[in-house]
Amino acid sequence: MNRTTSGNPALSEKVFRRYAAYAGEDVMTVNGTMNKTFLLFLLLLASAAYVWDRFVTMGSGQGLMMVGFLGGFILALVTAFKVTWSPYTAPLYAVFEGLALGGLSAYFEAMYPGIVMRAVALTFGVFFVMLFLYRSRIIRPTQRFTMGVMAATGGIALVYLVSWIASMFGAHVGFLYGNSTFSIGLSLFIVVIAALNLVLDFAFIEKAAEQGAPKYMEWYGAFGLMVTLVWLYIEILRLLSKLASRE
């Protein structure tokens, strides 16, 4: 069973092999990683609340939302390639993603009142359910399970990349953004894959801690977990919006 591989590119086996064999007193722990994940969440929440307030009170914030998406993407790439920078880049990533999610959430809330609280509740619900299933070993990150989740995640990324390129040429990919039964089913499938990625993330963090990875890897593990949670929240928000548009 390979528990050092995650479908999340930020928590890959390559990263594990490079940094897990560390000898020292200040080593990574699961509790330390969870604490840092909570801190990143607070930073994300604070910046999201700021943009949300601008949308509600001033009717603006689109610029900050776009800055958030672009900055978050750049910082994610930097963190993935410069793991030792994660104590600094991970908090910045959380702030920028908060700007992005705050604007995105306000936009959807304006169209479908109440949708954001449902999406937040479902995201946390999925997180704790997957954590329970992992800790109780009901779901085990076997090699076959890992390869299946990774393949599905890669396929989803490819579909979104192709749809983004197509949109640049004026093409509309209805099955991704419409509210047809197929589109809703596809969104549900993506949510499931995002949720299963959490299991791989948990396994990576636990194994890295067992192997005595350096202390700064707590920030990197927290960053990788936040990447999955942000993806999960966005996909749940999109799924709920498709369902609401049919009512």
List the chain domain ranges.
22-245
Within 8 A by CB and 6+ apart from 185, the residues are: none
The pLDDT value recorded for residue 245 is 86
Give CA–CA dist 169/190, Å, rounded.
25
What is the predicted pLDDT for the residue at 1?
Answer: 41
- CB contact set of 220 (below 8 Å; sequence gap of 6+): 10, 11, 15, 19, 79, 83, 86, 90
Give the global pTM.
0.87
pLDDT of amino acid 21 = 47
CB contact at 8 A, 50 and 232: no
Q: What does DSSP assign to residue 179?
A: -
What is the spatial distance between Cα 151 and Cα 143, in angstroms, rounded to a whole number?
A: 12
First to last CA, the chain: 45
> What pLDDT tens digit does each residue of the chain (247 aa) get?
444 455 555 555 555 555 544 445 588 999 999 999 999 999 999 999 999 998 888 877 788 999 999 999 999 999 999 999 999 999 999 999 999 999 999 999 999 999 999 999 999 999 999 999 999 999 988 999 999 999 999 999 998 888 878 777 766 666 677 778 888 999 999 999 999 999 999 999 999 999 889 999 999 999 999 999 999 999 999 999 999 987 6
User: Reduced to 3 states, what is the DSSP secondary structure of residue 245?
Assistant: helix
Q: Distances from the Cα of 31 to the Cαs of 37, 135, 189, 222, in angstroms?
A: 10, 14, 31, 11
Q: State the Cα–Cα distance between residues 247 and 235, nearest whole angstrom.
A: 19
Dist CA 54 CA 56 (whole Å): 5
Contact 234, 104 (CB under 8 A): yes
Helices (H) then strands (E): counts for the chain: 9, 0
